[in-house]
Structure 1
């Protein structure tokens, strides 16, 4: 993902990231819904049981619940992630080696990845929060005294069910304020800073291994494979922090259970044991491959197109 020009800042990285983000949302959202239900919902024995339950109760449409908002917002989010990462690489190379085209070393990639993970939370936390609240609307709420009550019977501080992403945002702002949109942001930092490091670095390593020589362009199939493997690695290792983030973001104001990250970890461990932090790991591994392979392939091919003009 190095630039062929001397200018450090490239706008086409952001545009290619936007296109890649849109394609990855369409591919990955159904399994993202399953992952969220497994991590923050109740009553599912395993991934297959969750899939069957969603289909029986909500038909195919249930897997795409809350997708309109991610499709509109995650495209912007991925544009930020890939644009920031690529431009940061070039900035580091120019600062360290005097040339933005100089290949980044492993330390450079690590710094760029970690900075990308940290910056991404600013936009990613509200996006994930709204997506999860919409995905969880058919679930039961576990009250502080351990009683399960259907979410449809709960009045959200004077509001009924969220009618859509805009109504969801409005309701959160009214009941929880601006800080409510960033609930779970701390857990998201714990997920995304190491998560993006284990996303971009494996991708770079796999691309280097699959490239026939330094002068050749990587074959689309190799990009697809490298991106998919990197996505699976990243999502599986990020699962414990992702579980905490999902639980905190699904924790609505009216039935608030978790006072913070540490309380969520302790409460979840005492109630469900260590295995709770690996809930949804299999879904993450499966979902991570097609989402990331589509993301990287679309991103790289879009860049080739833009830079051939």
Structure 2
């Protein structure tokens, strides 16, 4: 087992959350609340009613659990890739097949759903809860007073399975998304390597390549994952007031019927803008921590 990959993945994931959470909040609000007509209108409205704190609501839960979920993604990816490599090649230096990279990324994305789903629904519900900041004239009392209160409230009102509402959409988002993510990262690194050798995750030394490949892979991953991201967010917020969707397919059907096919790409531009710096940071920290661990060992 590649323990170093689990450790490096956890550090990289936590760093990525800190970088990208404000834009993630804007994206979630636009996907789930029809009152927002554009990015800047959502940003202005959030700042006016909630202050700067409004952009960081729900961050404490993912930043404490993303270490585990990112560890699972990167660790599963590397271990699955190693198994494929051992089954297919005699030489340890042989480059991994693109199909193996894709399938390993798919396994990593799906594997983290069991860990990520409860934290993700808490994050989304806190982000969508309009809570006035201190000093505001608004006196509305929020339903959820914080991450743990939100977690226990969902479990009490909707049962433990309520914490996994939208988990199917999350798996359909993260499986293909991470498969694309790792495939693009490895392919771009291979193209830009001076020695033209395959550089699988965990073997980088050129930081400019790491930064560009990481940012681009994140954008490509979100291009694949955004439709299910929209459905996931809607299923997760369903139940905050009244229940509208009977399940994943009903949510897709109703969303498209009412708002048109374009609804499935709500937040795509924001996802791509956010993805570049976030995933650049994730891979830089991942490769840095991995190189430090391997140097000391």
Q: Which runs of 5+ in 2 are unaligned?
A: 132-137
1:236: Cα distance to partner? 2.1
Distance of aligned partners of 1:101 and 1:253 in 2 relative to their CA distance in 1, 3 Å threshold: farther
Distance of aligned partners of 1:300 and 1:217 in 2 relative to their CA distance in 1, 3 Å threshold: closer
In the alignment, is the contact (CA less than 8 A) between 1:77 and 1:120 conserved in 2?
yes
Match of 1:74 in 2: 66
Match of 1:205 in 2: 187
1:300: Cα distance to partner? 0.6
The 3-state SS of whatever aligns with 1:238 is helix
In the alignment, is the contact (CA less than 8 A) between 1:90 and 1:101 conserved in 2?
no
Say whether residues 1:283 and 2:275 are aligned partners.
no
Tell me whether 40-49 or 211-220 shows the greater mean CA deviation: 211-220
Match of 1:128 in 2: 120
Match of 2:134 in 1: none
In the alignment, is the contact (CA less than 8 A) between 2:231 and 2:251 conserved in 1?
yes
Distance of aligned partners of 1:190 and 1:81 in 2 relative to their CA distance in 1, 3 Å threshold: same
In the alignment, is the contact (CA less than 8 A) between 1:13 and 1:83 conserved in 2?
yes
In the alignment, is the contact (CA less than 8 A) between 2:204 and 2:287 conserved in 1?
no
Q: Cα deviations across residues 230-289 of structure 1 (Å, max 9, x unaligned)?
A: 001111221111100010001126511110011101111121111111110110010111
In the alignment, is the contact (CA less than 8 A) between 2:75 and 2:108 conserved in 1?
no
Alignment of 1:232-247 (within 5 A): 232-247=219-234
Match of 1:146 in 2: none
Tell me whether 20-29 or 106-115 shows the greater mean CA deviation: 106-115
In the alignment, is the contact (CA less than 8 A) between 2:109 and 2:176 conserved in 1?
yes
The 3-state SS of whatever aligns with 1:42 is coil
Q: Cα deviations across residues 95-117 of structure 1 (Å, max 9, x unaligned)?
A: 22246654310111121111112
Q: What is the TM-score with the length of structure 1 in the denominator?
A: 0.87
Match of 1:171 in 2: 153
Match of 2:104 in 1: 112
1:228: Cα distance to partner? 0.2
Provide the C-alpha distance between the structure 1 equivalents of 2:119 and 2:51, rounded to a whole number of angstroms. Answer: 25
Match of 2:31 in 1: 39
1:183: Cα distance to partner? 0.5
Provide the C-alpha distance between the structure 2 equivalents of 1:243 and 1:205, rounded to a whole number of angstroms. Answer: 28
Q: How many residues align?
A: 284
Match of 1:161 in 2: 143
TM-align CA RMSD? 1.8
Say whether residues 1:266 and 2:258 are aligned partners.
no
In the alignment, is the contact (CA less than 8 A) between 1:229 and 1:289 conserved in 2?
yes
Q: Which runs of 5+ in 1 are unaligned?
A: 1-8, 140-149, 154-159
